[in-house]
Structure 1
Amino acid sequence: MKPLFYTLLLLIGVTACNNDDDKAAQDPVSLLPAATQTGENTFGCLLDGEVFLPSGGINPLDCVYQYVDGGYYLGLQGNKRNSDGDLIMIAIGTNGLQIFQNETYQLLENINGNAQGIYGYRINNYYTSQTYTGELTITKLDTENQIVSGTFWFDVQDNQGVVHQIREGRFDMQYVR
């Protein structure tokens, strides 16, 4: 009788386990900042499936939108150091390209008139291109209060041929001119 009792107890214990415990904690997107539009100075994305949030250092978060030499330039970046102390940067930029609320821009190569995505690792920067592209959507542009908010995703290829995927990007920044 005892072996049957222990077998039933083991069977109940195994089937009672729930592999679905707290899915929100397992979902990295749930760890990103909310997609706000009030100038909260937030930035986050998934970098190769892992949560990327700016932290530490001298300038973990920066946003500039200005008119210079006949063109508009947006520079938005988040920086952090990994566990080895290497600097990692995720950035979005425009070269001579004015942005507008509720518009989507292709992230292409780093040339005048384009928007581009940038992944920086240590001292190297890798840009979107005609082959590895992405998108930037401006969900809010308030030039009076200097707020820019939006979403982004992009791919870049590094010098070793590894394609890095930046996904679920979102930001809500107060910019300087």
Structure 2
Amino acid sequence: MKRIYLFFIASLFLVFTGCDTEDDNVVNEELPISTIAGLNTFGCLINGQVYVPEQESFCLDCEDAPKLQLTYGEVFEEYRFSLSTFNDTDGDVSVALELFNGNEPLTEGLYSLSQTILETNDTPVANATCSINKKINGEKIESEFYSNDNIGGVLEIIKIDEEKKFISGTFYFSALDGNGQFVNITDGRFDVTYNSF
């Protein structure tokens, strides 16, 4: 019984001393390599700092906020690509990319990450968003950033495999919050299996 108690105390010590709330690393020090095999990888630089999706090991609501999810297909007679990512290590960060391609399926090539006006109700939708509630390169950021018709970026689809159901590509974009603050997303890459709408 004494061994179990000592093991429990040692485990708690490792858990609480292993967390550094002042650390502003998002997860890793390096981006994942670019691949085209459906390996479920994603990474980019946020204002120069590495970002990859990850959930804390003691995640209570993991089902509600999956760390990496891609949905692609036809919905309401319109092809849509929706990639969302999440990281809750030492704060919350999410990056999302949306493409609306009318009644044409996506193909390999370049797509704008600025803003789409939905034809059904003339609603503007940002094609790229980033939500940050943590330190990025030493600066505490608590805001949501959106691309618009003046700023954005480019998403390049390098490979679509409809048989194995994955999409691979690269991206970059700039986005703006309501206070005029910018965020720059660079060196983005993804290689993700998708679910259909």
Range of TM-score over shorter length: 0.7 to 0.9
Moved more, 44-53 or 73-82: 73-82
User: Residues of 2 paired with 1:73 and 1:124: CA distance?
Assistant: 26
Extract unaligned runs of 5+ from structure 1.
1-29
Task: State the secondary structure of the residue aligned to 2:34.
Answer: coil
Q: Which amino acid aligns with 1:128?
A: S
Are 1:44 and 1:52, in contact at CA under 8 Å, matched by a contact in 2?
yes
1:4-23 to 2 correspondences below 5 Å = none
Cα distance, 1:147 vs. partner?
A: 0.9
- Identity percentage over the alignment? 30
Aligned length: 146
Find the residue that maps to 1:34 and give its secondary structure.
coil
Q: Which amino acid aligns with 1:99?
A: L
Is the 1:140–1:148 contact (alpha carbons within 8 Å) kept by the matching residues of 2?
yes
Specify the alignment match of 2:169 in structure 1. Answer: 150
Q: Which residue of 2 aligns with 1:112?
A: 118
- What's the offset of the Cα at 1:96? 4.2
1:147 partner letter = F
TM-score when normalising by structure 2: 0.68
1:80 aligns with 2:79: no
Distance 2:195 2:67 in 1: 15
> What's 1:172 paired with?
191
- TM (norm. structure 1) is 0.75
Q: Which residue of 1 aligns with 2:74?
A: 67
Distance 2:113 2:152 in 1: 5
* Change in CA separation of 1:111 and 1:75 when aligned onto 2, cut-off 3 Å: same
Query: 1:93-130: CA deviations, max 9, x gaps?
Result: 112443112x1011111433788111123596432112
How far apart are the structure 2 equivalents of 1:111 and 1:69? Answer: 15
Tell me the alpha carbon deviations over residues 30-63 of structure 1, each in whole angstroms, 9 at most, x when there is no partner. 8111110000000000001100010005211111
| Greater C-alpha Rg | 1
Q: 1:135 to 1:51 in 2, by over 3 A?
A: same
1:93 aligns with 2:98: yes
- Conservation of the 8 A alpha-carbon contact between 2:126 and 2:147: no
Letter of the structure 1 residue corresponding to residue 111 of structure 2? Y
The aligned amino acid for 1:51 is V
Q: What is aligned with 1:52?
A: 51
RMSD: 2.3
Moved over 6 A (4+): none
- CA spacing shift, 1:66–1:115, aligned 2, 3 Å: farther
Contact 2:157 2:167 in 1 (8 A): yes
SS at match of 2:118: coil
